[in-house]
């Protein structure tokens, strides 16, 4: 499924349009519910495809810059998405996420995840207060320590604020295999609701230690860089989607890549980023239908590695 911009515009016409998904999704999706997975620490269910905002939402506040991203946000919730991942480190992205969530009237429906990156306690507090203000939230669903920066200091504040009801969940992130030893050490010694790690068909190192450890420790897993910042699409350029992708209901390369991630049992939710509403529709399609089994996962990795 790859809806055109025109189709999406038609579909999302009218702010707060009802969730009339019929006709917009492939047949299997119309007859099936969006896939949800539990956050292990509470059992709360979340839809299995989220939305990243690094670079893509780092724009100015002119209507010309905001309009296409408003369509992205609207398509995302219309297709059943809720989890949005942002960070102060993504420059304007956090502010733009807040503006758009308000514009589209869905701020209270989003599962809002952001991050803190500071060495000292006061710097972290200032940043997190600012995030809450930019996101128009008195409660943030998930606060993550960005790339483990100042993690001991920041986790102490995160726990205090969680106890005070300002954060519902807390976690840590990384996007580099070089950090996995330190990351695993924190996972082993700290109780966390979530981790976020780079994992995709092109970067599978997290399978060795991080993903099994998350499963053992009962931590939800968000997967960043699910398309390797777009490099996965370049790798398959000029190649037809294999016929056997239909066996797990993937109708596009995007769905092929996301369903690979989702078929790992430790994964909760990949968070692809995009500037285009028709790509959101494509990405959300991965949250419907069947997933690859073990044998199919091997076939996918062999296919990809041979490219």
Ligand X SMILES: NC(=O)c1ccc[n+]([C@@H]2O[C@H](COP(=O)([O-])OP(=O)(O)OC[C@H]3O[C@@H](n4cnc5c(N)ncnc54)[C@H](OP(=O)(O)O)[C@@H]3O)[C@@H](O)[C@H]2O)c1
Q: How far apart are CA 172 and CA 95, in angstroms?
A: 21
DSSP one-letter code for 247: G
Does position 157 interact with ligand X (CB under 6 A)? The reply is no
Nearer to ligand X (CB atom), residue 115 or residue 137: 115
Shortest Cβ distance from residue 280 to ligand X (Å)? 8
Does position 233 interact with ligand X (CB under 6 A)? The reply is yes
- Nearest Cα to 66, choosing from 220, 261, 275? 275
Shortest Cβ distance from residue 295 to ligand X (Å)? 26
Q: How far apart are CA 241 and CA 89, in angstroms?
A: 35
Shortest Cβ distance from residue 284 to ligand X (Å)? 9
**Interface size with ligand X, residues (CB under 6 A):** 29
Residue 106 CB contacts under 8 Å (≥ 6 apart), including other chains: 16, 73, 77
Does position 154 interact with ligand X (CB under 6 A)? The reply is no
- Which span (48-56, 95-103, 131-139, 213-221) binds ligand X, by CB under 6 A? 48-56
196: phi then psi, degrees, rounded to nearest 5? -130, 130
Handedness of CA 228, 258, 201, 208 (dihedral sign): positive
- Which span (15-23, 29-37, 184-192, 277-285) binds ligand X, by CB under 6 A? 277-285
Among 12, 56, 74, 153, binds ligand X (CB under 6 A): 56
Nearer to ligand X (CB atom), residue 39 or residue 280: 280
| Contact between residue 146 and residue 131 where contact means Cβ atoms under 8 Å apart | no
Does position 74 interact with ligand X (CB under 6 A)? The reply is no
DSSP one-letter code for 240: P
Does position 268 interact with ligand X (CB under 6 A)? The reply is no
Subset of 86-145 contacting ligand X (CB under 6 A): none
Subset of 280-299 contacting ligand X (CB under 6 A): 282-283
- Which span (10-18, 40-48, 53-61, 152-160) binds ligand X, by CB under 6 A? 53-61
Chain residue whose CB lies nearest ligand X = 52
Shortest Cβ distance from residue 215 to ligand X (Å)? 20
Shortest Cβ distance from residue 115 to ligand X (Å)? 6
Tell the residue number behind the tokens 């041979």, with chain if given: 306
Q: Please tell me whether residue 84 adopts helix, strand or coil conformation.
A: strand
Q: E-assigned strands of the chain?
A: 36-38, 45-47, 51-52, 83-85, 111-116, 140-145, 167-173, 194-198, 220-224, 269-270
Task: Label residue 60 exposed, middle or buried (CB < 10 Å: 0-12, 13-18, 19+).
Answer: exposed
Does position 226 interact with ligand X (CB under 6 A)? The reply is yes
Q: What residues line the site for ligand X (CB under 6 A)?
A: 52-54, 56, 85, 146-147, 173-175, 196, 224-230, 233, 254, 271-276, 279, 282-283
């Amino acid at each position: 499924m790859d809806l055109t911009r025109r189709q999406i515009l038609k579909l999302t016409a009218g702010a707060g349009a009802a969730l009339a998904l019929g006709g917009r999704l492939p047949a299997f999706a119309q007859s099936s519910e969006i896939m949800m997975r539990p956050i292990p620490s509470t059992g709360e269910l979340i839809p299995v495809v989220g939305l990243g905002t690094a670079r893509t939402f780092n724009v100015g506040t002119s209507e010309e810059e905001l309009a296409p991203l408003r369509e992205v946000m609207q398509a995302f919730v219309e297709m059943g998405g809720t989890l949005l991942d942002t960070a102060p480190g993504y420059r304007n992205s956090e502010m733009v996420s807040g503006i758009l969530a308000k514009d589209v009237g869905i701020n209270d429906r989003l599962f809002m995840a952001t991050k803190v990156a500071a060495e000292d306690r006061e710097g972290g507090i200032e940043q997190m207060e600012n995030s809450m203000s930019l996101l128009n939230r008195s409660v943030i669903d998930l606060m993550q320590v960005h790339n483990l920066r100042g993690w001991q200091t920041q986790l102490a504040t995160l726990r205090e604020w969680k106890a005070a009801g300002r954060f519902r969940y807390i976690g840590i992130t990384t996007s580099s295999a070089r950090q996995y030893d330190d990351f695993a050490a924190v996972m082993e010694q700290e109780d966390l609701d979530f981790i976020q790690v780079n994992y995709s068909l092109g970067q599978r190192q997290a399978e060795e230690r991080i993903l099994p450890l998350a499963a053992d420790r009962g931590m939800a897993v968000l997967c960043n860089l699910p398309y390797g910042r777009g490099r996965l699409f370049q790798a398959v350029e000029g190649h037809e989607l294999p016929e056997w992708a239909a066996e797990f209901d993937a109708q596009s390369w995007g769905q092929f890549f996301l369903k690979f991630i989702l078929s790992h049992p430790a994964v909760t939710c990949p968070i692809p980023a995009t500037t285009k509403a028709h790509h959101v529709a494509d990405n959300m399609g991965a949250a419907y239908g069947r997933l690859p089994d073990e044998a199919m996962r091997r076939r996918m990795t062999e296919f990809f590695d041979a490219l």
